[in-house]
Structure 1
Amino acid sequence: MARFVVVVIDSFGVGAMADVPQVRPQDIGANTCGHILEAFPALSLPTLEKLGLINALGYTPGMMQPSPDAVWGVAELQHEGGDTFMGHQEILGTRPRTPLRMPFSAVIDKVESALRIAGWHTERQGEGLSWLLVDGAVAVGDNLEADLGQVYNITGNLSEKSFDEVKAIGRVVREQVEVGRVIAFGGKLASTRQIFAAVEEKEQRYVGINAPRSGVYQHGFQVVHMGYGVDETVQVPARLHDGGVTTVLVGKVADIVSNPHGESWQNIVDSQRIMDITRQAFTARETVFICTNIQETDLAGHAQDTARYADRLRLVDRELALLIDEMTPDDCLIVMADHGNDPTIGHSKHTRENVPLLIWRPGQAPARLGLRATLSDVGATVCAFFGAEAPENGRSFLPLIMSARNSKDD
């Protein structure tokens, strides 16, 4: 019996990376975890505290304290910026490439022509910068929440267009562009005017729909992420499949990472349901790799809502305690993040932050993993744990864990 779970608390960074002043000055001073604990100093997250969250944070802004028994480290982002899609590809073993940056206005002619050839009706909207309205209910434009110029959004009113139709529009766009990601999503809106009311421009180069303000997240939200240039054959799910180990993806990671031979729980946002599925998948198998994404923390960051963020952390902390109670000494849990999204920094985009690496194995001796150069070290560790071929990128820290464990046994 050997089970390995990675829980990614989306956007839960522990402080701005050293290169932020040079590459993302808007993120100077960002610290998602630290600023939430400063806003709610009485916040108690006993499971994360036991796992070493405050060790990874490096200071004590509230009542929580470092854990002397923790196995912990901190990881840098190897991908540029701070992106959920590339963050998860990196976690699962992809070596990040420099992404293409291009405003949607630079490809609007090409995209519009392809959509019309495919049979869709398009109308240009906006004064100066234009975005596309497709069949009167679906908007195509720049993503305004991620790094500008790297992602295009397909935003649909699912009261007027089915999600399959929104995805079909997204696939046409994906075939025409080379940015890192095309996101096709939507929700049930009372009126498509809600999309029009959420149109925004950024830096006089980018125009799109402010997704949280449009209301698409509130009712019947569905999403699929379409990536560019990611080789699934060198990632953890493929390596484990070759070794006879099943991969289960839960939440947003299932929307953005290929897992053709495993089990993927897609289009799920509710944190309670995500953690319920994670525990059920864990207890149902003697050998399995599970990767779970908690998206509601990221949505709270985009909304700059510290109270909502803290509430979701409480829920995850309670659920992690239940998962730990089910674990045996042969199992392993990693709790981490993929970037930051500091709700107090003054903007609603992701923040480029180091992320915590918190490891739990029953009976494990304390250990420090140090500062890891890439999130891919997690994927490399997963493969080493199961004796599978290493992914494309990353260096396993399993020897550090096993050395501490063996020393304790001696």
Structure 2
Amino acid sequence: QLRTEQSVLLGSKGQAVLVLSDAPYYETLEHAMKIRQYVKQQNFANLPKSVENIIKGYQDEAMRCEAEAREALAAAICTAETYVDGERVSLTGKDVKARLDQVLSQLVARVYHKLDLITKNIKSDDEIRALLEGAEQPLPGMAEANSDAALSIEEYLRLQEMAKRPTSMADVQSRYQTVPYGWREIDIAYATALLIKEQRITVKYGGESIRPEHPKLPDFLRRRSEIPKTRICIRQSVDKGKMRQVRAILEEYFDEMNLPTDEDGLTHYIIEQFAAQRRYYEELARKYEQNAKYPGRTVIMALLHQIAQLLAQKSDNNALIGHILAHKNELLNMKEAARQVEEFFAKQSDTFDLAVRLEKKTRDELSYLTGSVDATNALNEIRKRITFTEKFDYSGIPQLSALMTTVNTAYD
């Protein structure tokens, strides 16, 4: 008896075992099944009435046997010796359903003993997005939902880092869906998103760092086709001193104050602002296709090159911050040089265009100006002021209007 019980205990590890009494429910069920099988083989259309009545009697007997077996089996379950995860347990349920529910509940609690780290079951990706966007905040004094689950994932990632093992989101999902966790994939994604929101881990997809606002981030955390390609690691935070230095540089560069102080907020600001600047300067660069005489093309192209180099570092926060620090002087100098070009296109390009057209017109009609020294001198001065050199004098453009008036008067 002792050896049998020990065998059952060992066999119940990780599962639930009910040892039923020796009630004859099995034999009764077997008898009923034999009758059912016999009846199925009969062709009632060719049987005489007397034989049909005999078969119906057998069917009634089968139904009676099934009812007896059901009652005997229910009684056996209610009095069964029960073992859950290698331990004998006592049940208090009064019927079969109550007892089986109790067994399953105890099995889950014992086998998946870290299931309770999930305090909130997530229903959709919208909840993950709300968390990442900061739209979902805990009540004052309350911890974030699933914060203990997030801490467990973070500890696992630290162990992986110490062992120098790369970790994919597939590894995370696989680990936490099995014993002793048993978490759902969407709950694992939510707990991971909490670590992202708190800037404690880095997510990379295709070698590029994924920011919290990325529209496909929930997919990278839970979709079966995406998680093997998603890399997760402990975040290597940017030095606070370097961030302060970069904030000071950017405040001067963009002439703005109150820039974000957190790492993700600051790097997001950098990427958004410089991307907007790139679009703006690309628009200015296209103006040179309309008039190749416009001044400042070298400055604009050089600044676009600087911005492209900066944005090439956007997948790595440390690299991005480091690049700005290393190229501080170039950025500030190029920005200052670009101010004159920006002002030219904003206020002076129309006057410049008129001067270019007038110079071209007079080139073919010099005879009209032969007798006017003032007009000839004015035209020569116009040519000087619309010819771009490395030290182009933007201050000379406002005088073009008066010079053009002198030339046009000679025509009239």
Normalising by the residue count of structure 1, what TM-score does the alignment of the two structures yield? 0.22
Q: Which has the larger radius of gyration?
A: 2
Structure holding more helix per residue: 2
Normalising by the residue count of structure 2, what TM-score does the alignment of the two structures yield? 0.22
Structure holding more strand per residue: 1
Q: Which fold has the larger relative contact order, with Cα–Cα distance below 8 Å and residues 6 or more apart in sequence? A: 1
